Amino acid sequence: MIFQVLMPAKTIIGEGAIEKAGKTIKELGGNALIISGKIVEKNGIIDKLKAVLDKEGISYSVFTDIVGEPDDQMIGSAKHLYDSKKCDMVIGIGGGSPQDSAKAVSAQSGYPPIVLIPTTAGSGSEATKFYCVTETATNTKKLITDEMVIPKLAVIDPLLGVTAPKRVTAATGMDALTHAVEAYTSKKATPYTDMFAISAIKRVFDHLPRAYKSGDDIEARTQMAYAAYEAGICINNASVTLVHGMSRPIGALFHVPHGISNAMLIETCLSFAKEGCVERFAQIGRLLGAQGSVTECADAFFVYLKELLSELEIPTLSEYGIDREIYNNNIDKMAKAAIESGSPGNTIREISEKDIVALYKQLLK
């Protein structure tokens, strides 16, 4: 078996990593555009980054108008600031949205170096070639794949995540779990991604409930930061499957945060996928403590998953408040978008557009 491995050129990881990143950032450029959101700015995290850049004599401009998941208009505004300030690198600091935005600005600016600094443990964007941008004219969430946006530097500091609210911790943590399980059950899985996927899955089940209940549990935050990065490497090389394919249209149409959309779909979508790789789901079940036959261990995984979703208080689509009429009127459109994304095709079980329509109907009965 021959496969390639794609990951950031360099990663600095651990408590206080942001303070240790200055010299490496300076090697990449001297005038940065910092892309983030208002909450990260309010929590003082951008000030920490500014102090690191000031110490190294790196100039910077700050764009904090990323509101929710990025769209083409936000990216256009950030790109305008990048150009007007004659920046030579992009730093995305925050959750998946600022990081995706940094990738988009870099791609539109001739690929200057990218530094990504996650403040949540989930998206794995700091490790990947993927980013999402919503096209406002069509209200369609576009997934872009581009190896040129894999960051030159990822800085993973678990201390930056202690201020994340419970709901954000749950959503991003479930995003990491979705990445890991989908990569493990993908047609593109390799021995390398399997190693990281298994590690990430175990970390999430062991530590996400703790991080959710106690935001200042540094050990839990650290383990979740590791899990998110591992899962990011997984999808960078093995891709995602059915859950992501179906969740993106829901996120775009109803403006549901990506991690929550995944979490609401994960049980139904993976239950459908199970028939194509029962042994793989059984392996996950055994990892989490199940014993018995292949079928019993595979089924046990879904028991553990239900328990985790309950602990994290993940709502159903109905409980979230999805408008039933709008949802039903758009099922065919969402199914078409899911298939066109290519993600469902990575699932080991064969999936048709008709199957996805049926799953959408099952999700909101």
Could you report the per-residue pLDDT of 256-304, keeping only the tens digit for each?
Answer: 999 999 999 999 999 999 999 999 999 999 999 999 999 999 999 999 9
Running DSSP on this structure, what letter comes out for residue 146? -
From residue 234, alpha-carbon distances to 8, 33, 153, 231 in Å are 13, 28, 18, 5
The Cα 339–Cα 316 span in angstroms is: 23
pLDDT at 365 over 80: no
The Cα 240–Cα 345 span in angstroms is: 9
Cα 25 to its chain centre, rounded Å, is 23
| pLDDT tens, residue by residue, 228-257 | 999 999 999 999 999 999 999 999 899 899
**pTM for this structure?**
0.94
- Whether the CB-CB separation of 16 and 7 falls below 8 Å is answered with no
H and E: helices and strands count for the chain: 16, 8
**For position 206, what pLDDT does the model report?**
98
**For position 177, what pLDDT does the model report?**
98
pLDDT at 225 over 90: yes
Query: What mean pLDDT is predicted for residues 210-221?
Result: 95
| pLDDT tens, residue by residue, 42-93 | 999 999 999 999 999 999 999 999 998 899 999 999 999 999 999 999 999 9
Confidence of residue 324 (pLDDT cuts 50, 70, 90): very high
| pLDDT tens, residue by residue, 141-188 | 888 999 999 999 999 999 999 999 999 999 999 999 999 999 999 999
From residue 338, alpha-carbon distances to 122, 274, 353 in Å are 21, 19, 8
Q: Interior CA angle at 199 toward 195 and 205, to 5°? A: 150
The Cα 114–Cα 246 span in angstroms is: 29
The Cα 360–Cα 10 span in angstroms is: 40
**For position 332, what pLDDT does the model report?**
97
Closest-CA residue to 115 (of 234, 47, 26, 43): 26
What is 255-308 written as a DSSP string?
A: ---HHHHHHHHHHHHHHHHGGG-HHHHHHHHHHTT--SSHHHHHHHHHHHHHHH
The Cα 263–Cα 170 span in angstroms is: 9
Sign of CA dihedral 342, 348, 350, 355: negative
**For position 174, what pLDDT does the model report?**
97
| pLDDT tens, residue by residue, 116-129 | 999 999 999 999 99
